[in-house]
Amino acid sequence: MLGDFFSAVGDVLSNESTYSGGFRLAVVLAFVAAGEWIAERAGTLNISVEAMLLGGAFNSALGYHLTESVAIGILFGAIAGLGIAIVQANMSHRLSADQFVVGLTLNILILGVAGFLNSSIRPSTTRAHIFEVPWLVDIPLVGPALFGQRWPFYLAYLVVPACALILYRTRWGLEVRAVGENPQAADVSGVPVLTRRRQAIYVAGITSGLGGAYLLLGQVGRFESTIAGGQGFIAIAAVIFGGWTLRGAMLGCLLFGLVNSFRLTLPGLGYQVNSELLSSLPFLVTILAVAVIASRARQPAALTQPFVRGLN
């Protein structure tokens, strides 16, 4: 029986579709995790990334429905994510509402609103065309996965490095990291702590909205209210898994994407596995990974801590 297990794993790992599907799934998480990483480095934990992802998916469907342009649909998705982020940021860091309560409320609200509008409008959607990078797409196993995808996939190659650049190579990024580590010291130095935290959430909203747009226009091609499927929460887990480093977060996204692809590829190869166990596999791996890694990583010192001027 153990031999059958290793045989199944070997068949899956040698199958090109495992990597192609894994990278597609990982890129959705990467969009969300890149922005959430910036937000968490600023000291905020945004449960509402699930709402941003879902809102981005629906608004991109609406944008395509109105214009029949995939590019404009993606822009609509980013705008939706930003709009939800503005609500989250200002409720949490201007009106001092509990950020977890706000996040959960937004998740439920956007789920209901998107479902209602989808049933009323029934937007027509599509999937973007496939763009293959010459020569690179011919690399065995991973070539099609990295260089033979629908064109919104390649936006991740711009978004993820851009997030690293603005956090580590700009004054704004230095201030964001400062308010996540020691907001009182940053405040004394003249850094507007709550403003930087709000701005970091805006970045998370834009990238999460892009993730939702890619999910719809680069993968699924049709909006359903269940399209997000908890991927926003998995992206948060990827940030924690990565020890609040961008490189680690991207590795976490890739791990979770490949595990999900493993789940989808295994039945296609003819192996009979309990369907409930397969469905729970990505979440089991997420829990185990976070439990093992999070205890060894150092989170930003002021993560989730409200800022009140003058209080230590």
Least confident of 143-147, 250-254, 272-276: 272-276
- In angstroms, rounded to a whole number, what is the distance separating the alpha carbons of residues 251 and 307? 31
**Does the pLDDT value for residue 4 go beyond 60?**
no
The predicted pLDDT at position 265 comes to 80
- In angstroms, rounded to a whole number, what is the distance separating the alpha carbons of residues 99 and 105? 10
Domains of the chain in start order, with CATH, are: 24-129+147-296 (1.10.3470.10)
Map residue 72 onto helix, strand or coil.
helix
Provide the mean pLDDT of the chain. Answer: 90
Are 244 and 16 contacting, i.e. CB atoms less than 8 angstroms apart?
no
**Does the pLDDT value for residue 272 go beyond 80?**
no
**Does the pLDDT value for residue 2 go beyond 50?**
no
Q: How many CB atoms lie within 10 A of CB 49?
A: 36
Which of the pair, 1 or 28, is modelled with greater confidence? Answer: 28
**Does the pLDDT value for residue 270 go beyond 60?**
yes
Are 176 and 59 contacting, i.e. CB atoms less than 8 angstroms apart?
no
Confidence grade of residue 59 (pLDDT, cut at 50, 70, 90): very high
| % of the chain with per-residue pLDDT over 70 | 91
The predicted pLDDT at position 263 comes to 81
